[in-house]
Structure 1
Amino acid sequence: MSIVIRKSLLELIFSGAFMKRWNDKLRPMELVEVDKQGHKMIVAWLLFLLNSRDMDVARKRALGEAIIEGGLYDYLYRLVITDIKPPVFYRIKENPDDYRTLSNWVLNSLKPRISPLGEDFMRRMEEYLNQPEDTGLARRILKAAHLYASYSEFKLLKSINTMDHELTEIEDSFIDRLEAMRDLTGVSELLDEDNNVLGLFARMCGRLRFQKRWSQTPRVPETSVLGHMFIVASYSWFFSMEVGACRARSQNNFFSGLFHDLPELLTRDIISPVKGASFEIGELIHEYEIRELDRVVLAPLKEGGYTDVADRLEYLLGLEVGSEFKATVCRNDRVLEASEEQLAGEYNQDTLDPKDGPLLKVSDALAAYIEAHTALRNGISSDQLHHALYRIRQKYNSRPVVAGIQISALLADFD
């Protein structure tokens, strides 16, 4: 069965931008599921790199794939069970029969929207949901990342919920469960985030939930840079499935999406018309981003003993070739540009560590399109939103197929 990504799946992934978290607590800002998932998968990536340092390439690829797919299964599951409070959900999980009944109901609810991904995807998701949570390294990494990201949110609202009787119990639960996972490399650093560069980096990435996209344009829902990065990463993974990308290429596409707007930690979300006002302005912004990225992120990681993490970030962000949206491969320890045709053909092999910049660009454009389209559908009338839709449509009407993706046909489904 051929895989064809459809509008319904893209909208399902985006729907996490509506899904409120901690909605029984006083909150300094709205906390939404898609932001938490972005932070979780960034931390999962860090733990993946650190805990696979001594693995051979094949085991490392398998672990990376299991972490990404497991993270997506968890996210899809949570989109359906959103209204079940965590303590109630954990009680359900304690009873295997009750949990299996709930999981089967979730899968049946999701089936109409995820069936285009193929029967194998459905089967793997069902197997994943019916396995114990602590089965295997990938599951433990995802659990640790989930706990860290949720605990990070809790600390945002802790100081303004001092009268809440559940507060101490919730915090103790987070700490106890994370303490029990100290055998995973990196968890100790996350628990002591104030005093080491890895913890500081993980916390810094979480701050991207504070940066709202389209900051001068009212929208419903508002989306953050952090949530947007997760949405783009998810689209990149599913499009990689559609075009038959090899294992390395698929993983690089997901993680590139997860970090593609990381420089906005340092520059904020600069809108495309400003970046594109002139070649000189675009180059000036890019030069500043790279300089600050090195000063604030890459250099501290290298100095703190995480050169492998910094080097991988450089590759995912396309720093060697000047843009994350260029297709690249690694040959003889050198990063080289590639064409879309080469990436789809002779370069589509794990040994070359390919990365699909044009596919990432399509995913980024689709995420922006759905943000604008959803806001308009929800009654927000704005010239900027209409112009964004028009600009994206025009761009892909003249080039309907990019990186093997029928982008113009997908956009037509939104009319």
Structure 2
Amino acid sequence: MSVIIRKSLLELIFSGAFMKRWNDKLRPMELVEVDKQGHKMIVAWLLFLLNSKGMDVARKRALGESIIEGGIYDYLYRLIITDIKPPVFYRIKENPDDYRTLSNWVLDQLKPRIMPLGEGFMRGMSEYLMQPEDKGLARRILNAAHLYASYSEFKLLKSINTMDHELTEIEDSFVSRLEALRDLKGVSELLNENDNVLGRFARMCGRLRYQKRWSQTPRVPETSVLGHMFIVASYSWFFSMEVGACRARCQNNFFSGLFHDLPELLTRDIISPVKGASQEIGDLIHEYENIELERVVLTPLRDGGYAEIADRLEYFLGLEVGSEFKATINRDGEVIEASDAKLAGEYNLDTLDPKDGPLLKVSDSIAAYIEAHTALKNGISSDQLHQALYRIQQTYKEKPVIAGVQVSALLADFD
């Protein structure tokens, strides 16, 4: 069965922007599921790189695929079970029959939306959910990333919930479970995040939840840069499946989506009309982003002994070719720009480490389209939102198929 991406799946992924977290605590800001998932998968990528050193290429690619798939399975599961408090969920998990009953119900709820992804995806998700006791490396990395991201949220609300009787128990639980995973490379650094460059980078990425997109335009829901990056990463993964991308290309597309707005740590979310006001302004912003990215992120990582992380970020962000939205391959250590046609044909090989810049741009545009469309559907009337929809529609009316994705037809489903 071929993979077909439909509107219902895209909206399901986006729906995590509505899902409140820590809903029984006083919060300094709304904490939502899609932001947590973005932070979690960034940390999972860091742990993936650190714990796959020395692996042969095939094992490393298999591990990367398992981490991405497991992260998406976990997210889809969370979207259905919504607001079950963790202690209650863990009690359910302790009883195999109860957990199996709950998981089968979740799969039944998801089935209409994820069936277009093919029987392989359904089977993989079912096997993943029915093996909660799995202690493989991918599952342990995801567990550590989940705990770190959730603990980071907890620390945001800890100081304003001092009278809460659950606070000490919650914090002790986070720390003890992360301590149990210290044998994973990188976990010790995350536990002592103030004292090392890796921990500081992970914490810095979490700050992207503070930056709201479309900051001058009222929207429901508001989305952060961090949540947007996870949504784009997920869309990139699904579109990669649809166009038959090789394993390396699929993974590169996901992680490129996960980091594509990382420079906004340094510049904030500059809206498209400003970036596109003139070539000079666009070039100036891009130059500033690259200088600050090198100074604040890449150089500290390299100096701190994490050159591989810095190099991969540089590749995902397209720094060698001038844009994250250009298709590239890596041939004998040299990054080369590629055409869509070659990337879909002779360059669609794991050995060439291909990355779909145009497909990433499609995913980014569709995520923005759904943000605007959802806000309008929820009763927010705004010229900026209408203009954004029109601009994106016109772009893909002129080029209806990009990187193998039928973009114009997909957008028509939202009319």
Secondary structure, aligned partner of 2:221: coil
1:266 partner amino acid: L
Question: Corresponding residue for 1:373?
Answer: 373
- TM-aligned CA deviation for residue 389 of structure 1: 0.1
- TM-aligned CA deviation for residue 135 of structure 1: 2.2
1:133–1:139: 8 Å Cα contact kept in structure 2?
no
Question: Corresponding residue for 1:324?
Answer: 324
CA–CA separation in structure 2 for the residues paired with 1:158 and 1:111 = 38
CA RMSD of aligned residues (A): 0.4
CA–CA separation in structure 1 for the residues paired with 2:133 and 2:14 = 26
- TM-aligned CA deviation for residue 132 of structure 1: 2.7
CA–CA separation in structure 2 for the residues paired with 1:373 and 1:43 = 30
2:337 partner amino acid: E
Question: What is the number of residues matched between the two proteins?
Answer: 415
Secondary structure, aligned partner of 1:244: coil
CA–CA separation in structure 2 for the residues paired with 1:307 and 1:200 = 15
CA–CA separation in structure 2 for the residues paired with 1:132 and 1:74 = 11
1:112 partner amino acid: P
CA–CA separation in structure 2 for the residues paired with 1:394 and 1:132 = 46
1:332 partner amino acid: D
Gaps of 5+ in 2: none
CA–CA separation in structure 2 for the residues paired with 1:257 and 1:157 = 28
Question: Corresponding residue for 2:235?
Answer: 235
- TM-aligned CA deviation for residue 134 of structure 1: 4.2
CA–CA separation in structure 1 for the residues paired with 2:215 and 2:382 = 13
Question: Corresponding residue for 2:265?
Answer: 265
Question: Corresponding residue for 1:186?
Answer: 186
Q: TM-score normalised to the size of structure 1?
A: 1.00
Question: Corresponding residue for 1:387?
Answer: 387
Question: Corresponding residue for 1:219?
Answer: 219
1:295-336 Cα offsets, whole Å, 9 max, x none, are 000000000000000001000000000000000001111000
1:27-52 Cα offsets, whole Å, 9 max, x none, are 00000000000000000000000000
Question: Corresponding residue for 1:103?
Answer: 103
Percent identical pairs in the alignment equals: 86
CA–CA separation in structure 2 for the residues paired with 1:8 and 1:134 = 31
CA–CA separation in structure 2 for the residues paired with 1:301 and 1:83 = 37
Question: Corresponding residue for 1:129?
Answer: 129
Gaps of 5+ in 1: none
Question: Corresponding residue for 2:305?
Answer: 305
1:161 aligns with 2:164: no
- TM-aligned CA deviation for residue 83 of structure 1: 2.0
Secondary structure, aligned partner of 2:159: helix
1:345-401 Cα offsets, whole Å, 9 max, x none, are 000000000000000000000000000000000000000000000000000001100
- TM-aligned CA deviation for residue 133 of structure 1: 4.2
CA–CA separation in structure 2 for the residues paired with 1:133 and 1:100 = 12
CA–CA separation in structure 2 for the residues paired with 1:128 and 1:372 = 34
1:133–1:140: 8 Å Cα contact kept in structure 2?
no
Question: Corresponding residue for 2:360?
Answer: 360
1:209 aligns with 2:216: no
Secondary structure, aligned partner of 2:131: coil
1:9 aligns with 2:42: no
CA–CA separation in structure 2 for the residues paired with 1:83 and 1:178 = 23
1:359–1:403: 8 Å Cα contact kept in structure 2?
yes
1:196-219 Cα offsets, whole Å, 9 max, x none, are 000000000000000000000000
1:144 aligns with 2:144: yes
CA–CA separation in structure 2 for the residues paired with 1:61 and 1:120 = 18
CA–CA separation in structure 1 for the residues paired with 2:193 and 2:150 = 15
1:40 partner amino acid: K
1:335 aligns with 2:335: yes
CA–CA separation in structure 2 for the residues paired with 1:347 and 1:226 = 31
1:104 partner amino acid: N
Question: Corresponding residue for 2:92?
Answer: 92
Question: Corresponding residue for 1:347?
Answer: 347
CA–CA separation in structure 2 for the residues paired with 1:261 and 1:92 = 38
Q: 4+ residue stretches of structure 1 with deviation over 2 A?
A: 132-135
